[in-house]
Amino acid sequence: MSFLAPLLLGGLVFASAPLIIHLLNRRRFKLVEWAPMEYLKLTLRTNRRRLQLEQWILLALRTLLILLLIFAVARPLLNANAAASWLAIGGRTSRVLIIDDSLSMGLRHGGTTAFDKAKEEAAIAIESLGTQDSLTVVTTSGMDRPLQRDTALGAGEAEQLAERVRALEPSDTANNWSATLAQVADMLEGSAYSNREVRILTDQRAEGWSADASEQAQRLAEMGVKVTIVNVGEASPGNAALLSLEQTTGVALENTPVVFTAKIKADGDAQLASQQAVLVVDGNENPLELPSITPGQEVSLPIELMFKEAGQHTVELRLPDDAMVGDNARSLVVNVSEAVNVLLVDGEPSIEQRDSETFFVAVSLLIGDVPFRLTILPDSDWLNAPGVGVYDLIILANVAQVPAERANQLRETVEAGTGLMVFLGDQVDPDAYNLNLFADGRGVLPGRVEEGETIEAEGLVVEPIDGSPLSQLGRLAPRVLAEIVPLKAAPVELDDTEDVQVLARWNNTDLPAAVVLKRIGRGQSILWTMSADRAWGDWPTQLSYVLAVREAALAIAGVGEEAGNLTAGEPIRQPVSANTPPSQAKVQHPGEEATTAATIDLEEPTRPRVTYSDTARAGLYRLTWDKPGSADQQRFFAVSPDARESELRRLSSTELEQIMTGVDLQLVDLSGDTPEAERGGKEIWRTLATLLLAMVVIESCFAAWVGREH
């Protein structure tokens, strides 16, 4: 027990007042012998013990009244800081202890992190647990890998588990409390005992607490689960965060400048002025001057590098250390190529190359100093292949239809970063495109397409959009764009989302858009509402067409699923040969010498992969696997911290109670900057005040009874 106003406990000395008054009253009377009193002595002797007992009870009541008054005004608080108090409940209980190990738990305050406090509170709770209860201990980044799963702790086991908890390190992942509570509910549905309790040790950051968490909280409420949330976090004094480090240039080519962009934000009182960061390229450290960043400001820092050799390279950027070092560094794997790998799928191939559907697109890509490596396949060959293939850019030209399975594979590939261009034509089946490639907005197309129709237009208008893949086309003289005269185009009912943008329109605003872009995950797709050849107009024969196709191709060509750049918690997935699948694979974690076995996934024979899911820590992971008949293969994967965890706003108790509506919830706040009155536990001054009032009534009645005539 603790007190919110402990100085008032000095008033306890007044509890002696009734006794002092009683003794003083006894001294006020002088004994005088009086003959008639002798006749009363016999009567009083018989009642003496009863009268003394009544007086002592009355004295005790009056003393207790003063004690209750002093205790009430001192505002006692039960179990404000006892992490193990949840264990002191009768009856066998299934308990789940959740330790938040997300990136924000690494925020340092006074030399101690929130995660340090959470571990110590958890260890105390574990060591205080009796052998009659069942315990599950998990971290938020390892809900599928509990440290202890629904078992009672035997002699010595509690101490061993507590030491394992104290040895934990925070992850670089973000929280998803909806998913966490769902997994907790699943655990407790099959728990050993009907009494169920959950204790969450967290910094109570708002990030991760979505409205979906309320649904899972309702599940816990229906199961009768008691939930205690302990806030061990502190208010942020200010934090400078490296929010992202991205490769701005779509495809990195050897001996060609590659541009990267770093986004840096200063939060709270943090600021960066006249400081140096460290840029690490292939293990070589170089100083990098940072711009002056004031509190609350976010800046984009361009970085230009050049790689002399093709292959895999690594880039890392580190900011100066601050209160939370977890979000001060990010890394990238850069796949440097000799050329941009492009797949052209020809929907109308021809013996005469000039008459094929992809001829003008291929010519446009091969003109210029940027190397493109082209692979041209008839649509039948591509559709019958085991997969979409690994390319920087895929171009579909007048392909009649794409089956659902291949459309799903195509979406996954684009989502991972590969660029996609789709040209229409007379062979295109709009219904099939809308069903599989648009898929009610879930596919790669930006809208529903219709049959191509004859149009009357003279010229193209390029929309002034920053970073548009057609920005170079917009710099041409208006007369050059006015020479573009389409014969046919396909109307498109665009999906009304922020991921869809019209890049160019025909100069007649009543006509359909000419070029439309859609962003899908890390990739982009562009729909050209005309054909790639001269069937729907003579634009392919003009130099502006060459510029448009080349610039758009370079802008959206990406690194695909071979990129190897992940966010903490995302699994490693490495495609391997279906003909010679590996027999073993292993992963080396950042800064460690030991390796861990990876999983070889052969469930999909057409897409065998090596997978690994334990990527909670940021840094460079090295994956190696054997390849029969050749040397072992090796690839790096760059895992960066989750930028969402750099948002350090704390969730108020009211907001948390609204999310957890219906749950038997107790909030305990152990943060050092929180007033004692807000620390949680149970404040009992109201209970004492009620008891005091009852005691006043009892004392008054008893005093009247004691003072009756005898």
Whether residues 455 and 363 share a domain: the answer is yes
End-to-end CA distance of the chain: 45
Domain with residue 208: its CATH number is 3.40.50.410
DSSP-derived pairing of the beta strands 453-454 and 572-575: unpaired
Same domain, 258 and 385: no
pLDDT above 80: residue 521: yes
Cα separation, 232 vs 100, in Å, equals 10
CA distance 392 to 678: 56
Does one domain contain both 579 and 482? no
Beta strands in 60-202 (DSSP E): 76-78, 93-99, 108-109, 112-113, 134-139, 148-151, 195-202
> 84 pLDDT exceeds 90?
no
Shared domain for 230 and 188, answered yes or no, is yes
Same domain, 256 and 281: yes
Closest CA to 617 of 206, 331, 364: 331
Summarised one tens digit per residue, pLDDT across range 561-607 is 456 889 999 999 888 887 888 999 999 999 899 999 999 988 776 67
DSSP state of 205: B
**344 and 415: one domain?**
yes
Distance of alpha carbon 550 from alpha carbon 273, whole angstroms: 41
* 42 plus 61 within the same structural domain: yes
Average pLDDT for 167-181: 94
> Are residues 152 and 296 located together in one domain of the fold?
no
Q: Which residue has the tokens 């728990």?
A: 191
Largest interatomic CA distance in the chain: 148
**Cβ-based neighbour number of residue 89 at 10 Å:** 12
Same domain, 534 and 392: yes
More confident site: 215 or 677: 215
Three-state SS at 247: strand
Are 447 and 528 in the same domain?
yes
Mean pLDDT of 462-480: 89
Q: What is the CATH number of the domain that holds 306?
A: 2.60.40.10
pLDDT for the residue numbered 248: 85
According to the model, what pLDDT value does residue 685 have? 59
- Is residue 86 scored above 50 in pLDDT? no
Rounded distance between C-alpha atoms, residue 494 and residue 368, angstroms: 33
Mark whether 215 and 249 lie in a shared domain. Answer: no
Kindly report the three-state secondary structure assignment for every residue of 42-98.
HHHHHHHHHHHHHHHHHHHHHHHHHHHHHHHHCCEEECCCCHHHHHCCCCCEEEEEE
pLDDT grade for 234, boundaries at 50, 70 and 90: confident
Same-domain status, 467 and 532: yes
- Number of domains within the chain: 5
pLDDT of 103-151, one tens digit each? 999 998 888 899 999 999 999 888 877 667 788 999 999 998 999 888 8
Summarised one tens digit per residue, pLDDT across range 27-71 is 555 555 555 555 555 555 556 666 667 677 767 777 777 777 776
Closest CA to 179 of 221, 142, 206, 222: 142
Report the DSSP pairing between strands 134-139 and 93-99. Answer: parallel
Residue ending a domain, choose from 561, 580, 607: 561
What digits encode the pLDDT tens for the residues 640-653? 999 999 988 889 98
The H or E element that residue 633 is part of is strand 633-640
| Parent domain of 547 | 340-561
**Does the structure show a pLDDT above 70 at 709?**
no
